[in-house]
Amino acid sequence: MFFLVDAFTKKPFCGNPAGVCIVESYPRDEELQKIARYYDWSEIAFLKRLGESAFQIRWFSPIDEAPLCGHATLASAHVIFENELVPAQTASFQYSGGTLFVETNNNLIKMNFPAKQVQKCHCIPFSVEKIFHIRDYVEIVKDDLLYIVVLNSPKDVINATPDFEMIKKLDCRAIAITARYIDSGNFDFCSRYFAPKVGIYEDPVCGSAHCRLACYWASMLRKNTFTACQASKRSGILYLEIEDDIVKICGNAVTVCQLFNYMDTPLHC
């Protein structure tokens, strides 16, 4: 079974598109990568059933296998709940880093993701002005995979014009920009996310980035629940809560189309 799902939205053609492919067994990694490159979406999730409510999950970008992906996990949870592939409203996904638990309630899906703490960069190896054409910024933080540039306002986030060739040269998988909403009653912060090195020039809504963004804004705003907006052209909304070392990422999803070519046989190219 193969599904196209828009994640972190209630409307088709908004949010972040993800492929969800359910297989009986995994083909070779090269075949999985060919499929991801062919569709050229931010990620395709490949699921293999392990038990009544348990699946193995792997995520592929157009360039490589991703270590963690939020929107394709949300899309996968949406598929198994909407199609009643599990007996209850809870399920689990095993991945290389552990187990992700998901549940659904009134079409809102909640996912337990690992919290990713970030540290302030004291030695900055790039120019924010040259990469984003933004002169002023608050600070830059990072972990082992991601730089986050904190800007002065949501307007700066929206108006930033990234230089993708410069971003490709950075010593990280991706870079995000973010800013706090001060006067908005709807959102706590917004962001954008760029990963051209792995074939994702701008990710419409990146769930895994919010494992870092939630931790950063929790330290800045002294709170543990947030409503966040990803300010891409497609846009998306995330509901976040930090509890110990877990970031609970909640959102909606909608199925755009589905195919049943691979219902009875393993997936092959």
Instruction: For residue 222, give Cα distances in angstroms to 195, 207, 242.
Output: 29, 21, 11
Q: How far apart are CA 135 and CA 120, in angstroms?
A: 19
Q: Name residue 200's amino acid.
A: I
The per-residue DSSP string of 195-223 comes to EGGGTEEEESS-TTHHHHHHHHHHHHHT-
Task: Kindly state the tokens that stand for 229.
Answer: 């907006």
Q: Which of 43, 54, 50, 52 is nearest to 77 (CA)?
A: 54
Task: Kindly state the tokens that stand for 240.
Answer: 């976040």
Positions marked active-site: 43
Q: Which of 44, 48, 64 is nearest to 56 (CA)?
A: 48
Q: How far apart are CA 69 and CA 8, in angstroms?
A: 13
**Tokens 């769930």 — which residue?**
207
Q: How far apart are CA 90 and CA 87, in angstroms?
A: 8
Check if the beta carbon of residue 87 is closer than 8 Å to that of residue 53.
yes
The per-residue DSSP string of 89-104 comes to SEEEEEETTEEEEEEE
